[in-house]
């Protein structure tokens, strides 16, 4: 077992309760885990040394909400939207047609390409949803492909009602044969609870059927307007209610008093020129906030967690440290993981080395490629 000492760290973010951020730090990686961390002067001997020359080191980003299994491109729709047309949930159907028409190897290559982009930007854990198949065959295939790349796979058969289908009949499919085919490849079940997609009763039916087969729930909630999504998420004990753009005080109270994480996806508001969610209000109310990309070809085609962190600070009113926490430890909370999102002893050695002296630079220097190296389980991936 080789121990590697990473030293010369200008600023190390561990999210330790007493010393969350430490200057002049070092840590030891052994067997893919953090075995020791502290002041560089106190570092133990190790078999190998990696001096990062004053760089900041952060836990790898945990991107808790993506839709990477897709084909096609919706740049024309984005262009039209920037010329004044509103975002509508039905645009998903364009991607459904392209995804159904793609071969397995094409979908797999797309996932690989986007994961590679993510690695280059410091992301080390990624959740991936289905939801662009909407048939038993195509949803099962999406999850089977996603599972090759992550354990955090989410069954989202209830993304939108496919063209020509009746809502009640489609919910029967999603909670019946489609669930049976998909559950073996999934950890999570999700539903788009929104006007134009699924109402509260349909969302409850989808989530409860998923829970009954052993999947854990998460919800797309309150993205385009006020609605029941957040309340349904809290009611079923969902790990996260994602979007949370339009919240009543009762929604904020429900999130604060439940174990449900509020997942904020500001790439969506950026890409649809819509009002941003208010992270400050949530944090001040005691809600756990995660930041994620929602990477998808329609409403948020970014794979960049540094970009999301910058939006979190500039537009969602988080401090730079809060935004980084939400993009790492918050994402881990959203996925109910305690082995990632921090660099305390025992954590998986998933981290990013920045070409910057502090993590504040992620928001201070938006759009600049500051990630020098990304390491997963002690091994460089970018």
Question: Closer to Zn ion at the Cβ: 26 or 268?
Answer: 268
Choose the stretch contacting Zn ion; rule: CB under 5 A; options: 227-235, 282-290, 291-299, 340-348: 291-299
Could you tell me which residues come within 8 angstroms of residue 245 by beta carbon, excluding any fewer than 6 positions away?
A: 222, 223, 224, 268, 269, 274, 275, 276, 277
Q: Measuring CA to CA, how many Å separate 264 from each of 104, 134, 334? A: 31, 25, 11
CB closer to Zn ion, 194 vs 294: 294
CB 290 within 8 A of CB 262: yes
| CA–CA gap between residue 120 and residue 140 (Å, rounded) | 29
Q: Reading across the β-sheet that carries 188-193, which strands appear in turn?
A: 128-129, 153-158, 188-193, 216-221, 240-243, 261-264, 289-291
Smaller CB separation from Zn ion, 194 or 350: 194
CB of 254 to Zn ion, least distance (A): 20
How far apart CA 130 and CA 134 sit, in angstroms, is 9
d(CA 165, CA 186): 24
- Residue 294 or residue 373: which is nearer to Zn ion going by CB? 294
In terms of CB distance, is 294 or 350 closer to Zn ion?
294
CB of 156 to Zn ion, least distance (A): 8
Query: Closest approach of Cβ 265 to Zn ion, in Å?
Result: 7
User: Which helix (DSSP H) or strand (DSSP E) does residue 218 occupy?
Assistant: strand 216-221
**Which lies closer to Zn ion via its Cβ, residue 191 or residue 349?**
191
CA dihedral 172, 175, 178, 181 (to 10 degrees): -150
Assess contact for 266 and 252: CB atoms under 8 A. Answer: no
- Looking at beta carbons only, is 89 or 376 nearer to Zn ion? 89
Q: At what angle do helices 320-327 and 305-314 cross, to 10 degrees?
A: 140
- The footprint of Zn ion on this chain (CB under 5 A) covers a number of residues equal to 1
**Shortest Cβ 130–Zn ion spacing (Å):** 11
d(CA 347, CA 122): 16
Which single residue brings its beta carbon nearest to Zn ion? 294
Beta strands 371-376; 379-380: pairing state: antiparallel
Name the segment binding Zn ion (CB under 5 A); options: 106-114, 223-231, 287-295, 373-381.
287-295
Q: Candidates 5-13, 181-189, 290-298, 367-375 — which segment interacts with Zn ion by CB under 5 A?
A: 290-298
In this chain, which stretch among 294-302, 329-337, 343-351, 364-372 interacts with Zn ion, using CB under 5 A? 294-302
Q: In angstroms, give the least distance from the CB of 275 to Zn ion.
A: 18
Q: How far is the CB of 91 from Zn ion (least distance, A)?
A: 13
CB of 31 to Zn ion, least distance (A): 35
- 294 binds Zn ion, rule: CB under 5 A: yes
**Residues engaged in binding Zn ion (CB under 5 A):** 294
């Amino acid at each position: 077992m080789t121990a590697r000492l990473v030293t010369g760290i200008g600023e190390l973010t561990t999210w330790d309760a007493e010393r969350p951020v430490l200057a002049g730090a070092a840590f030891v990686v052994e067997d893919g885990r953090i075995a020791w961390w502290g002041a560089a002067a106190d570092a133990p001997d190790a078999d190998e040394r990696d001096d990062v020359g004053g760089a900041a080191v952060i836990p790898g980003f945990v991107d808790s909400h993506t839709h990477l299994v897709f084909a096609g491109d919706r740049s024309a729709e984005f262009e039209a939207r920037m010329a004044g047309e509103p975002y509508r949930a039905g645009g998903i159907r364009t991607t459904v047609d392209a995804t159904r028409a793609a071969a397995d190897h094409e979908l797999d290559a797309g996932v690989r390409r986007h994961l590679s982009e993510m690695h280059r930007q410091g992301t080390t854990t990624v959740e991936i949803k289905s939801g662009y198949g909407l048939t038993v065959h195509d949803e099962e295939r999406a999850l089977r492909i996603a599972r090759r790349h992550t354990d955090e796979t989410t069954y989202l058969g209830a993304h939108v009602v496919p063209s020509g289908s009746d809502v009640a009949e489609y919910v029967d499919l999603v909670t019946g044969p489609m669930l049976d085919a998909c559950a073996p490849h999934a950890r999570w079940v999700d539903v788009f609870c929104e006007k134009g997609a699924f109402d509260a009763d349909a969302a409850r039916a989808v989530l409860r059927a998923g829970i009954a087969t052993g999947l854990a729930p998460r919800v797309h909630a309150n993205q385009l307007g006020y609605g029941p999504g957040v309340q349904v998420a809290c009611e079923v004990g969902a790990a996260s209610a994602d979007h949370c753009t339009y919240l009543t005080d009762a929604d904020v109270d429900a999130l604060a008093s439940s174990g449900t994480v509020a997942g904020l996806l500001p790439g969506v508001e950026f890409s649809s020129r819509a009002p941003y969610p208010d992270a400050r209000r949530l944090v001040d109310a005691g809600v756990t906030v995660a930041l994620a990309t929602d990477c998808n070809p329609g409403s948020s085609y970014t794979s960049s967690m540094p970009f999301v962190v910058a939006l979190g600070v500039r537009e969602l009113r988080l401090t730079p440290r809060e935004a980084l926490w939400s993009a790492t430890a918050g994402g881990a909370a959203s996925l109910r993981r305690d082995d990632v999102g921090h660099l305390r002893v025992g954590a998986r050695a998933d981290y990013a080395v920045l070409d910057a002296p502090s993590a504040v630079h992620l928001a201070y220097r938006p759009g600049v490629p500051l990630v020098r190296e990304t390491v997963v389980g002690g091994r460089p991936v970018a």
